[in-house]
Chains A and B, each alone.
Chain A
């Protein structure tokens, strides 16, 4: 059977992608940030997944105001990096895993979560920046990502956006769905976006280190309580775009200690934790949690 080996959490700031693509990673401004991901790139080599289930938000790229799905699962064979206005990022095509994606869609929809099935879309920086941070830049001699990816897009752009509790419960259903897939796949689930940031209005530039670090603490040790935090707290404390953090609760909900009730699984092991301010307008947070047998 398939099983989730670990969850990964990271910000997906577009400027990080630009810094990587333009070869600026060694500049003093960016050096401390990329240093925080050196462990992670080695960890990925040591713990290669067969599939990554990647929770992110579309930034008005695949979904305009014509249609806004709250939760959308990518069931396509492949996804092209999008042109977000400055041309597509020079990164490989993202290869999907249609069979596992269809299985998860079937299981989760039967479990009362109404997903939108997507068979064609481009993917923006929300998905490709985390891949670059965790896998590094693929060499031109083998220009591909190391494994298939299932994109899972969450609406955090137009209100109403889903609550933290809804995301957490959905994560649990995704965890159960993956565990019931009849192939021996090692799956990682990634939650991306955040941490505190605001990109608009006179309040632009808001950063809240206390909120962010408390969020990391609770995500690790008190996800049940963290899931109950209402939207307005994210907006007031972490900025209007800090609401992206609800997506981290999907990945956390899929972890063994909470997804499988009564299973008695141990809490996850914290393999890596990193926090840095700033990347452009944003506080960058990063965690790797490993499921324990």
Chain B
């Protein structure tokens, strides 16, 4: 079947379509399980053991353990599902979204207070906006050595 996926031409953006959804089914369903307080407690007590109850790929499990939001999205995660991990960790949507830009919390918050990220240069892949691949990471968080 031929479909015109024009949304593949937007930089720094993954549209949650049927292919992503198929890849991320178990990852996202694991996230749904965190809507129950008892499951959140079990997950927090032993994350690896809890993840092993789900038929997720090892790469997906590692991405969750590292809280690498960009990796989770690349592996089929969707932000509204992944938000349940953030909620379990006590993180806000702003902290979660900001973590995907390579900015520190302060840098990202400052960008938002100053009116947010411009669409200029960020509409099509190959332009020169700050969301383009060649301009990552965008802030100090992405440049700091990994702990």
- A interface residues (Cβ-Cβ under 8 A, vs B): 14-15, 18, 29, 59-61, 64-66, 82-87, 157-160, 196, 198-209, 211, 231-232, 235-237, 240-241, 277-278, 280-281, 283
Q: Among A64, A84, A203, A280, which residue has its beta carbon within 8 angstroms of that of B92?
A: A280
Interface residues on B, range: 35 or more
| B102-113 interface bits toward A, Cβ cutoff 8 Å, 1 = contact, 0 = none | 100000100111
Select one of A64, A65, A82, A281 contacting B93, CB under 8 A.
A281
Given A14-B93, A87-B37: A200 touches B117 (CB 8 Å cut-off):
no
Q: Could you tell me if B11 and A202 are in contact, using CB atoms closer than 8 angstroms? A: yes
Inter-chain CA distance A204–B142, complex, in Å, is: 15
Instruction: List CB contacts (< 8 Å) of B72-107 with chain A.
Output: 73, 78-81, 83-88, 90, 92-94, 96-98, 100-102
Most buried by A among B97, B132, B133: B97
Q: Cβ of A202 and Cβ of B136 under 8 Å apart?
A: yes
CB distance from B36 to the nearest CB of A (A): 7
The residue in chain B whose Cβ has the minimal distance to the Cβ of A278 is B112
Q: Is the CB of A206 within 8 A of B117?
A: yes
User: Could you give 25 example pairs across A and B, Cβ below 8 Å?
Assistant: A18-B92, A29-B113, A59-B83, A60-B83, A65-B81, A84-B35, A85-B35, A86-B90, A199-B97, A200-B13, A204-B98, A204-B101, A204-B108, A206-B117, A208-B118, A211-B119, A236-B10, A236-B119, A236-B123, A237-B119, A237-B123, A240-B13, A277-B116, A281-B94, A283-B116
Q: Which A residues are in CB contact (< 8 Å) with B119?
A: 206, 208, 211, 236-237
Enumerate B28-68 residues with CB–CB distance to A below 8 Å. 28-29, 31-32, 34-37, 40
**CA of A241 to CA of B111 in the docked complex: distance in angstroms?**
18
Partner of A15, one of B70, B88, B94: B94
Beta-carbon nearest neighbor of B15 in chain A: A159
Contact of A157 among B10, B16, B123 (CB under 8 A): B16
Chain B residues with Cβ below 8 Å from A84 are 35, 83-84, 87
Check if A206 sits within 8 Å of B116, measured CB to CB.
yes
SS class, residues of chain A in contact with chain B? loop
- Give chain A nearest CB distance to B1 CB in angstroms: 13
Question: In this complex, what residue of A is CB-closest to B138?
Answer: A202
Structural contact, B100 and A200, CB atoms closer than 8 A: yes
Q: How far is the CA of A87 from the CA of B35 in the complex (A)?
A: 8
Inside 8 A of A200's CB, which chain B residues have their CB? 13-14, 69, 73, 79, 97, 100
Residues in chain A near residue B111, CB distance under 8 A: 205
The answer to whether B115 and A280 have CB atoms under 8 Å apart is no
Could you tell me if B116 and A207 are in contact, using CB atoms closer than 8 angstroms?
Answer: yes
Q: Write the chain A residue with the least CB distance to B116.
A: A207
Q: Would A85 and B102 count as touching, CB distance under 8 A?
A: no
Which one of A15, A201, A280 contacts B13 once the chains associate, using CB atoms below 8 Å?
A201
B90 → chain A, closest Cβ, in Å? Answer: 8
A171 to B83, CA, bound (A): 30
Q: What separation, in Å, do the CA atoms of A240 and B10 have in the docked complex?
A: 9
